[in-house]
Amino acid sequence: MDRLVLPTIYISKIKEEHIATYGEVSNDFNPLHFDKKAAKQAGFSDRIVHGMMTMGISTKLISPWLSSDCFIKEYESSFRYPLLIGDSLHIYGEIAERTCFDARITFKGINQHSQIIITGKILVEGRLQDSPSLLKPPSST
């Protein structure tokens, strides 16, 4: 079937404020995110970004189409490679499969060195035939 590409998410540079804001809201002050020395001791070249911030950013792929008739059933990610402060982030998503009742989306996040940071899958369920959106199955368009 056709694989429909979702609008790409792009952040040109992960800044100090991104990590600080996410740390505040999640109350996650793991030194790997805030202390360069601790990050280096753990084997990273710089402080690492919260993996859950990257996964959270990925939700923007699908959030414009969500409603009570079109809801997320499953959302999963694997964290493949650390995203570092100062890195850029592209998240690419595509609809791999659609029916009248569900849509399966795959995504991946990549840094400026084309290293894969995160991969994931989303299962959206609902009355997609009524959905005025990208998620609408081709047979009903």
Binding site for other proteins (CB under 8 A): 11, 18, 21-22, 24-28, 30-32, 38, 42, 50-53, 55-57, 59-60, 63-64, 66-69, 71-79
Minimum Å distance from CB 58 to other proteins?
A: 8
Minimum Å distance from CB 59 to other proteins?
A: 5
Torsion of CA 122, 128, 133, 136, to 10 degrees: 90
Nearer to other proteins, 26 or 129 (CB): 26
Nearer to other proteins, 66 or 96 (CB): 66
Minimum Å distance from CB 2 to other proteins?
A: 25
- 3-state secondary structure (DSSP) of residue 35: coil
Minimum Å distance from CB 98 to other proteins?
A: 19
Residue-by-residue DSSP string for 89-130: EEEEEEEEEE-SSEEEEEEEEE-TT--EEEEEEEEEEE-GGG
CA separation for the pair 133, 115 (Å, rounded):
31
